[in-house]
Amino acid sequence: MPRKTPDRSEIGPYQSILKIFIRFNPFHLSDPCSILALSSFFFPLSLNKTLSFTMNRFQRLRQKRDFINLIRQFFTEAGFFEIETPLLVPSPGMEVFLQGFSTEYANQVGDRHKLYLPTSPEFAIKKALSFPEFAGENLFEIARVFRNSGENSKQHHPEFNMLEWYRVNADYTHIMTDCENLLVFLATAFPHTEPGFDWSPPYQRSSIVELFKIHTAIDLTRALDDDVYLRREAELVMNQTLADDDTFEDIFFRLWLDFIEPILGQDKPQIVYDYPASMAALARRKPDDPRWAERFEIYARGYELGNAFSELTDPDELLERFQHNNALRRQYGYAPHPIDHALIEASGKMPPTGGIAVGVERLLQAMTGAEDLREFFLLPLPE
């Protein structure tokens, strides 16, 4: 089929790129449509893909709107309260490799205060859970979030919608059940669910230890305390020599990304639970074995849909984790994240809670079988 030459109505979003191309145009073309057609060969990721989205842009956005309405219906009918959290926050998070967008607030007397766009509504929702007037309330939000870590691909976009829900007097096992119920509801009620993938429960639940044993033959429990064993076995599995400064986490994620994650949830969703305590993030440690954290991720089609915790409610441990992660950020050359002391205080006032974060567009991608989640954004950022 001949390649479509863009008409003039499609040129608007790319005026700045066109101006650059025209200025340095070696072919001396003057017609904007001809220039756009030619320049797309020089900007294949930023233009070709975006133009291909225009063919079904309205359809994809309507699918997204219907999908979000169904999510909202599910949680409202389940008795959750929909909360609205700020878009200007004092700290973007506490993850080592997570980067946020920053700005400044200037008050009337000229004082300037650094603020961030949220990478997640998690901190704000947890503060709400600590308020007496929210006692007993299960909360959810479909929030716009922003991440400045350079990820822009078929499964990532710098801004997107995050679904988070928090069930009080519960733990991560209750959130596993919530996930099954939500995904079954969506797969049934959403008319654009692609056939051929099984969303019906129950979903396979596999521990991290089980998966490493099956797919790499490595005893991860032993590896926690035996670096020589881990390095020897990992080098055999990967058939390469590890660097002297490779940490446990470095080796873990290389094995995970190469041998385990791509095969998860290929036929139906799969839940992976109990991560090493060093990867707990904001999850509490298992009371009967603190080497592991009550954290799970849910996968479909080989990629992660959501990340869940039995939430940490110990303010002293939370502060220690903040400080530890900031020390790691300094080692990697990143500025430390501001410590959100209001969150630390709030964590000690929260009830036992299970919570999860799910990328809405990525879940929608999995449901529809779309090749690229950026199809669900009106004006996706170019790569």
The candidate with the shortest Cα–Cα distance to 17, out of 53, 42, 34, is 42
Please answer whether residues 367 and 192 qualify as being in contact, where contact means their C-beta atoms are separated by less than 8 angstroms: yes
d(Cα 326, Cα 304) in Å, to the nearest integer?
25
Task: Reduce the DSSP state of residue 356 to 3 states and report it.
Answer: strand
Q: Is residue 244 part of a domain?
A: no
Do 142 and 33 share a structural domain? no
158 CB neighbour count, 10 Å cutoff: 17
Judge whether 62 lies within some domain. yes
Specify whether 36 is located in the same domain as 75: no
Angstrom distances, CA of residue 340 to CA of 191, 228, 265, 284, 320:
42, 38, 36, 18, 12
Quick one: 49 and 180 in the same domain? no
Domain boundaries, position 283 = 57-203+268-376
**35 and 62 share a domain?**
no
Residues 111 and 44 in one domain: no
Judge whether 214 lies within some domain.
Answer: no
CB 364 within 8 A of CB 62: no
Please list the pLDDT of the chain residue by residue as tens digits (383 residues). Answer: 333 333 333 334 444 443 443 444 444 444 444 444 444 443 444 444 443 554 488 999 999 999 999 999 999 999 999 999 999 999 999 999 999 999 999 999 989 999 999 999 999 999 999 999 999 999 999 999 999 998 999 999 999 999 999 999 999 999 999 999 999 999 999 999 999 999 999 999 999 999 999 999 999 999 999 999 999 999 999 999 999 999 999 999 999 999 999 999 999 999 999 999 999 999 999 999 999 999 999 999 999 999 999 999 999 999 999 999 999 999 999 999 999 999 999 999 999 999 999 999 999 999 999 999 999 999 999 87
Strand partners, 307: 297, 357
How many CB atoms are located within 10 Å of the residue 89 CB?
21
Q: Which of 69, 73, 179, 83 is nearest to 138 (CA)?
A: 83
Q: Does residue 35 share a domain with residue 72? A: no
Residue 84 has φ and ψ, to the nearest 5°, of: -125, 120
Contact 36, 6 (CB under 8 A): yes
Whether residue 108 is contained in a domain is answered as yes
Query: Is residue 120 included in any domain, yes or no?
Result: yes
Domain count, the chain: 2
User: Helix, strand, or coil here: 166?
Assistant: strand
Do both 40 and 124 map to the same domain?
no
